[in-house]
Chains A and B, each alone.
Chain A
Amino acid sequence: MFSSLARQQWVRSSLPVLVAAVVIMTAPSLVTGSFWQRVIILALFNVVLAMSLNLVIGYTGLLALGHGAFLGIGAYTSAVLTTTYEWAFWAAFFVAGITAAACGLLLAVITLRLRGHYLAIATLGFAVIVYQVLMNWIDVTRGPLGIPGIPTPPNIPLGNGTELDFGLPAAHIYLAGAFAIVCYVLIRRIVNSPMGDALRAVREDEISAKSLGIRTFAWKCFAFTVAAFAAGLTGSLYAGYMGILEPSAFVLTVSFTLLAMVIVGGAGTLVGPVIGALVLTIVPEALREVGPEYRMILYGLALTLVVLFFPQGLVGIGAALRSRFRSSSRSKPDEPPSDSTGTGFAKEVPVDAS
């Protein structure tokens, strides 16, 4: 009984990872056009960004709007270290993550006494500052000229004599894919541990959390720092893939698009942001076929409709249908609610007087 339950749990936790790994391994041979390979890589970066932002917005319930800034900090840190200072890529990669995490912690300590809209504005301000620094700290960032000639990650020998050649997009797909899977697994570990319980407690009711001995401020800082760290690492991979950085890649719109990925996919769920990031990266590109003038209108319309009709995000569609099916069949009324769905961001608190 227990072993079959354990096996079931193992399948449930490993299956998505295995499926993702297979999809990523086969992607470069299935999608050969350089345009779509590029879309896949950017989508994978967005998956990590949305997952990490979800830790802050979805699980901890903090409306933070400056996530794109951490991407920018990581990307520029990595780019400056590998070009001006000729660091090895992987050393720059980790320093990029740590720099972004340090900025995240600093921002958290300064702004996390605020909440709701005020926190949103403060973090937005942070994103504006970072953009201006990238634009105007010419000595380091070269301002609007951008940083060209950023080296790719070094080729990785594959044992059988061949190498993973980062001159080719396929290698970047594998790297971004592996990175996304590692991030997914680590975030899942956090979320399903007592740490995740503490974060959710902060989101659901801060006063209760405090009165139960949960250090709400420390946990909020933790979520912010971890999310910024992941975004900084992503920024380094982004710099290594693009080869050239300009401040315009880190405008405010980036942060808003990431927010949309989290909300549209399903905030406070594990797979929601993954789906949101994939859909919101791929759909706008697919809509190019429709024509540039209608593309963004359709995209905006789709966002509005999803938020209107599926406030729990795209993952909520499945859960809503399933619960409807379940209530009509009435087989297991006391099944514990699965945590991965149904703790959405935009839910109403039921008011029930006795």
Chain B
Amino acid sequence: MTRLLTLEGVTLAYGNVVVCEDITFHVDHGEVVTLIGSNGAGKTTTMSAVAGLLPTRSGRITFDGVDITSMPPHLRVRLGLSLVPEGRHVFPFMSVRENLLLGGFRFKSSPKEAASAVAEVLDRFPALARRANANAGTLSGGEQQMLAVGRATMSRPKLICLDEPSMGLGPLIVAEIFSIINEISAQGTTVLFVEQNAQYALRTAHRGYVLQTGRVIASGTSEELRHDQRVKDAYLGKVRA
């Protein structure tokens, strides 16, 4: 397998406050990788740096063989890196269809191709298809999250980064979101996602990294992490049979 995304010794800070220090991890082509950790561990900060929304203080980020450490976000999108930001960021006063079209903003295509890409996403998410012309702000939380994910696939990325896709959603919807992640992965897109819900995360991902106060404290396959005592104590609570 070849490396798609690597972070080497990345340090991130807001002003003088260092939030993440010496973060090193990688995602290979075709993998589903998760970053787990509690509130304030630096998960969202790390994702922002991967997408280019936050400048990297030191260290190196490479994507698909290209050094993207100081590359602006729109060029990263062009390379095939797509982020679903935390907290269901949709364009509330635009229709579902318009939201999807904007997802393909960088995807240089004819109107016909764009329309077929929209149709493809609506096909995958029947709940969205039913409300294709409704304003995105009127959708339920789960539908908005699906829209955000569907929109991110519009640019046909190599890597989709999802920042806490389960945040604030009910258990049934969370299960649906994770099955969507599996589906995206099955279609050949590499996935990196951040999660607080370690149970779900380690069931979906192939591998994971555990973040604590801005550092990677453990890593391994999902199976290994599920049995790691530190992870159990900190994130999984009592393991149910």
We find that the number of chain A residues with CB closer than 8 angstroms to chain B is 28
Whether a CB of chain B sits under 8 angstroms from the CB of A210 is yes
- For window 329-354 of A, CB contacts with B under 8 Å fall at 334-337, 342-343, 347, 349-350, 352-354
Complex Cα spacing A349 to B87, Å: 14
How far does the Cβ of A304 sit from chain B's closest Cβ, in whole Å?
25
The residue from B83, B91, B138, B173 contacting A204, defined by CB atoms under 8 A apart: B91
Closest to A336 in B: B133
Name the residue on B nearest A343 (C-beta): B93
Interface window among A4-12, A22-30, A193-201, A247-255: A193-201
Q: Which residue of A lies closest to B130 (CB)?
A: A334
Tell me if A213 and B92 are in contact (CB < 8 A).
Answer: no
Q: Interface digits, B150-169 against A, CB 8 Å rule (1 contact, 0 not)?
A: 01100100000000000011
Name the distance in Å between B29's Cβ and chain A's nearest Cβ. Answer: 21
Which A residue's beta carbon lies closest to that of B95?
A: A337
Nearest chain B residue, comparing its CB with the CB of A202: B91
B92 touches A205 (CB 8 A): yes
Given contacts A334-B133, A352-B138, A352-B141, contact A212 B77 (CB under 8 A): yes
Whether A215 is near chain B, meaning CB under 8 Å from some CB there, is: yes
A350:B137 contact, CB within 8 angstroms = yes
Partner of A208, one of B78, B85, B140, B155: B85
* In the complex, A107 has a CB within 8 A of chain B: no
Q: Provide the residues of chain B in CB contact with A213, threshold 8 Å.
A: 73-74, 76-78, 105-106, 155
Complex interface: chain B residues within 8 A of A336 (CB): 95, 97, 133
Minimal Cβ-Cβ distance residue in A for B103: A212
- Least Cβ distance of A333 to chain B in Å? 10
Residue pair B84, A211 in contact (C-beta under 8 Å) = yes
Q: Does B142 sit within 8 A of A, measured CB to CB?
A: yes
Nearest-neighbor residue (CB-CB) of B133 within chain A: A336
Residue among B84, B89, B91, B138 making CB contact with A350, cutoff 8 Å: B138
> Is B72 an interface residue, CB under 8 A from the partner?
yes
Query: Which residues from B are CB-within-8-Å of A204?
Result: 91-94
**Which chain B positions have C-beta within 8 A of A208?**
85, 89-91, 148, 151
CA distance A61 to B185 in the complex (A): 36
Using a CB-CB cutoff of 8 Å, which residues 183-220 of chain A contact chain B? 194, 197-198, 200-201, 204-205, 207-215
For the complex formed, measure the closest distance between the CB of A299 and the CB atoms of chain B, giving whole angstroms. 30
Contact B105 A211 (CB under 8 A): no
- Given A352-B139, A353-B141, A353-B168, CB of A200 within 8 Å of CB of B94: yes
Minimal beta-carbon separation of A229 from chain B (angstroms): 24
Min CB distance, B172 to chain A, in Å?
Answer: 9
The answer to whether B74 touches A215, judged by C-beta atoms less than 8 angstroms apart, is yes
> Once the chains are docked, how many angstroms separate the CA of A7 from the CA of B151?
32
| Distance of A198 Cα from B101 Cα, bound (Å) | 11
**B94: A residues at CB distance < 8 A:** 200-201, 204, 343
B72, B89, B138, B142: which contacts A205 (Cβ < 8 A)?
A: B89
Select from chain A the residue with minimum beta-carbon distance to B136: A204
Q: How far is the CB of B53 from chain A (nearest CB, A)?
A: 6
- What residues on A are CB-neighbors of B72 within 8 Å? 215
Known contacts A197-B101, A212-B106, A214-B102; is A350 also within 8 Å of B77 by CB?
no
Answer whether residue B126 sits at the interface, using C-beta atoms and an 8 A cutoff.
Answer: no
Complex: how many Å from CA A215 to CA B75? 9
Shortest Cβ gap from B1 to chain A (Å): 26
Q: Select one of A212, A342, A343 contacting B151, CB under 8 A.
A: A212
Among B98-152, those with CB < 8 Å from A are 98, 101-103, 105-106, 133, 135, 137-144, 148, 151-152
Chain A residues contacting B73 (CB-CB under 8 Å) are 210-211, 213
Contact B53 A210 (CB under 8 A): yes
| A77→B93 CA distance, assembly (Å) | 40
Task: For residue B81, give the distance in angstroms from its CB to the closest CB of chain A.
Answer: 9
- Contact between chains at A211 and B83 (CB < 8 Å): yes
How many angstroms between the C-alpha atoms of A211 and B144 in the bound complex?
Answer: 16
Annotate B173-200 by CB proximity to A: 1 below 8 A, 0 otherwise: 1000000000000000000000000000
By Cβ-Cβ distance, the 3 closest A-B pairs, closest first, are: A213-B77, A204-B91, A213-B106
A residues adjacent to B (C-beta < 8 A): 194, 197-198, 200-201, 204-205, 207-215, 334-337, 342-343, 347, 349-350, 352-354
6 contacts between A and B (CB under 8 A): A197-B101, A201-B105, A205-B90, A211-B83, A212-B77, A342-B93
